[in-house]
Amino acid sequence: MKDRNRLFFRTPDEIEERAYAEQGFLHLGRVLTDAGLEAMRTESMAAWRAEKGEFDPAKTWLQNSLLSDIHHRSAVVRDYYYRGPPVDVAQQLIGPNIKGVTSQLTFKMRGNTKAFGWHQDNGYGELEPYNSLTMLTALDDTDESNGCLWIVPASHQRGQIEPGLNLADKQAEKSIELVVDESTAIPVPMQAGEAIVFHCWMLHKSQGNFSPDRDRRILFLRYADADAVEVYNNRRPRIGPLLRGNTKFPEVERFESDLLQRDGK
């Protein structure tokens, strides 16, 4: 498995922990090889088309933009999520005990001009300890014309702005749109195969895709301390695959053990 991953993934040479602590994000550069990028695009798009089809302006933002648990549908994504560069980065920035929290595709296909407003990822289900992180990996070149990420550097130092949405409530689509002073906001363009990692309190948004001929496809992965709990859900453990180290929660240790064993963890 490790030999196979060398063909697909590139671990960043250096993680600037001090810069991450001060600014709340790091642009990691290229983390996918050409072969890895091609394989991830191919498998992700097969899953996307099977579930979502083409962009439809009559559908909701959730239907047009998100596909959850993509690691169940793509072996390359699963390898990357379980043992690729994101896990190494998470272990260095969070600590020795790491679990996966989310794996999803966040796509803005051409024609999808809907913006996603300012928010913190910890607003979509508040986790404690407050050191979880998000890693976005670009499957396309992303810039301001096709809906790249915008952030407010160092905004994570404000802490949790408001309680996280209760993700146990599945009754309705909900979104967060915080009021933010955008005077210090910056765009974060990426080339295909590059990644950015940011803190769970980082203020960020994305505009719509106004490019007439380019998609904006991103793999969204989130990681947390293996013992992280859901503040919004009576402090129950956040369930996710245990990827490094140990956990005090048996339900986390057992979670997705079939996938982990099948993949030779």
* DSSP states of 155-194: GGGG---SPPP-TT--SS---------GGG-EEE-B-TTE
Residue whose C-alpha is closest to residue 97's, from 216, 184, 227, 214: 227
Q: What is the CATH number of the domain that holds 201?
A: 2.60.120.620
Q: Is residue 125 part of a domain?
A: yes
Report residue 10's pLDDT band, with 50, 70 and 90 as the boundaries: confident
Across residues 202-218, what is the average pLDDT?
Answer: 96
Residue 200: pLDDT over 60? yes
Mean pLDDT over each residue of the chain, to the nearest integer: 90
pLDDT at position 171 is 40
Has residue 168 been placed in a domain? Answer: no
Q: What is the pTM (predicted TM-score) of this model? A: 0.92
pLDDT recorded at residue 92: 95
Does some domain include residue 171?
no
- Extract the tokens encoding 93: 């920035």
Residue 184 has pLDDT above 70, yes or no: yes
In the prediction, which pLDDT does 258 show? 73
Instruction: Give the least confident one: 115-129, 231-245, 249-263.
Output: 249-263
Q: Is 196 part of any domain?
A: yes
Question: Is 246 within a domain?
Answer: yes
Predicted confidence band of residue 187 (pLDDT cuts 50, 70, 90): very high
What percent helix, strand, coil does the chain show, rounded to 5?
Answer: 30, 25, 45
Q: Is the Cα dihedral 49, 50, 51, 56 positive or negative?
A: positive
Q: Is residue 170 domain-resident? A: no
Compute the distance between CA of residue 135 and CA of residue 222 in angstroms, rounded to an integer.
Answer: 6
SS3 137: strand
Report whether 42 contacts 223 (CB < 8 A): no
Q: Is residue 134 part of a domain?
A: yes
Q: What is the pLDDT of residue 170?
A: 43
The total of structural domains in the chain comes to: 1
Residue 169 lies in a domain: no
What would the pLDDT profile of 134-148 be if each residue is shown by its tens digit?
Answer: 999 999 999 999 999
Q: Look up the domain containing 92 and give its range.
A: 2-161+176-262
